[in-house]
A = this chain, B = another copy of it.
């Protein structure tokens, strides 16, 4: 049997309320009794039961984290940012993989609320009306990280995806390419289908160009679809000389796919990736890429959540972190 606050109270000859006060650092305890209690705690090896505490105080000091896939390099980095800040504020995290499946997401949300988490960090793809409904119904704050709600109803932390892509593609166009191909993740995710794509479109149109569907390849974020993408491009009659790729992992695929066909990067074909995961320096040539500060997005999202959980007033619920382009050797 584990020792309870009652055992400690008896051992120290005080009431459980006093023990509770000592444990919680309440100042209204005489130093001598505090000492007695502390000794009793030590003697019995008492460890407060967080479940009982959670029931009584209605705070569990744990937050839920819904993430598409923790084994993805991108999300794992985000998760680390979340966890570090959570730890800093004495929260633990319950981590759940959703695979971006809407049913799972809703189900997990309810499981977490059932477990009485004090808040939730949500990462996903497309945010539907139903998501927002569920979020609103929740009794605790929810913050989205690297996930956009186009109506800005839910607090979130992101970068300016549209401008980030716009800048990268514009850079390539200014290098004199007559066209820039685009490898993107699934378009159902509005980050891909709306923001990033619009950035691409805008950059093209600014140069008097139009989006050419044969120059756009929709992959599934994996290295292999990066390879597929170049192969498709190189088999077409309009071979690109510059490719913007929506994620680093696909960009590695693109570089290797091109090299496998005997092309030289960046001489024959320039490539810019997106995210600046650790992969970007693990290729030859090293990858020029848009820096999305994943760790920071996670950290800031968690920090925002702590404020909301504390009922502090926050000026801006939709935070946009800065981005930049890191030029390496895959561009001239």
**A interface residue numbers (CB < 8 A to B):** 2, 47-52, 54-55, 60, 62, 69-73, 76-77, 79-80, 83-84, 87, 92-97, 110-116, 139, 223, 249, 252-253, 256, 259-260, 278-279, 281-284, 295
Tell me the number of copies of this protein: 2
Q: Which 5 pairs across A and B sit closest by C-beta, in order of nearness? A: A71-B80, A76-B76, A50-B115, A95-B95, A51-B54
Does the CB pair B73–A96 fall under 8 Å? Answer: no
Does the CB pair B83–A79 fall under 8 Å? Answer: no
**Contacts beyond the supplied A51-B115, A71-B76, A223-B282: 18 A-B pairs with Cβ under 8 Å:** A2-B139, A47-B110, A47-B113, A50-B115, A50-B116, A51-B51, A51-B54, A71-B295, A73-B73, A73-B76, A79-B95, A83-B95, A83-B96, A92-B94, A92-B96, A93-B95, A94-B95, A279-B282
Find A278's partner among B83, B84, B223, B295 (CB 8 Å cutoff): B223
Residue of B nearest to A61 (CB): B115
Does the CB pair B70–A83 fall under 8 Å? Answer: yes
Chain B residues, CB < 8 A from A114: 47-50
Complex Cα–Cα for A252 and B253 (A): 15
Chain B residues, CB < 8 A from A95: 79, 83, 93-95
Does the CB pair A116–B51 fall under 8 Å? Answer: yes
Does the CB pair B281–A223 fall under 8 Å? Answer: yes
Does the CB pair B62–A70 fall under 8 Å? Answer: no
Chain B residues, CB < 8 A from A112: 92
Chain B residues, CB < 8 A from A73: 73, 76
Does the CB pair B79–A92 fall under 8 Å? Answer: no
Find A94's partner among B47, B62, B256, B260 (CB 8 Å cutoff): B62
Looking at A70, A111, A114, the one whose CB has the most chain B CB atoms below 10 A away is A70
Complex Cα–Cα for A112 and B223 (A): 37
Complex Cα–Cα for A48 and B295 (A): 34
Chain B residues, CB < 8 A from A295: 71
Q: 6 A-B contacts, Cβ less than 8 Å apart?
A: A48-B114, A51-B116, A73-B73, A76-B76, A95-B95, A249-B282
Looking at A71, A87, A93, the one whose CB has the most chain B CB atoms below 10 A away is A71
Find A51's partner among B47, B60, B96, B110 (CB 8 Å cutoff): B60
Complex Cα–Cα for A79 and B112 (A): 19
> Are A93 and B92 CB-contacts (below 8 A) given A114-B48, A223-B281?
no
Chain B residues, CB < 8 A from A253: 282
Find A115's partner among B62, B96, B249 (CB 8 Å cutoff): B62
Complex Cα–Cα for A282 and B87 (A): 34
Does the CB pair A80–B69 fall under 8 Å? Answer: yes
> What is the CB-to-nearest-CB distance from A328 to chain B, in angstroms, rounded to a whole number?
13
Complex Cα–Cα for A54 and B97 (A): 23
> What is the CB-to-nearest-CB distance from A279 to chain B, in angstroms, rounded to a whole number?
7
Complex Cα–Cα for A281 and B115 (A): 40
Residue of B nearest to A259 (CB): B284
Complex Cα–Cα for A264 and B77 (A): 33
Does the CB pair B77–A71 fall under 8 Å? Answer: yes
> Are A70 and B60 CB-contacts (below 8 A) given A47-B113, A92-B111?
no
Complex Cα–Cα for A50 and B115 (A): 5
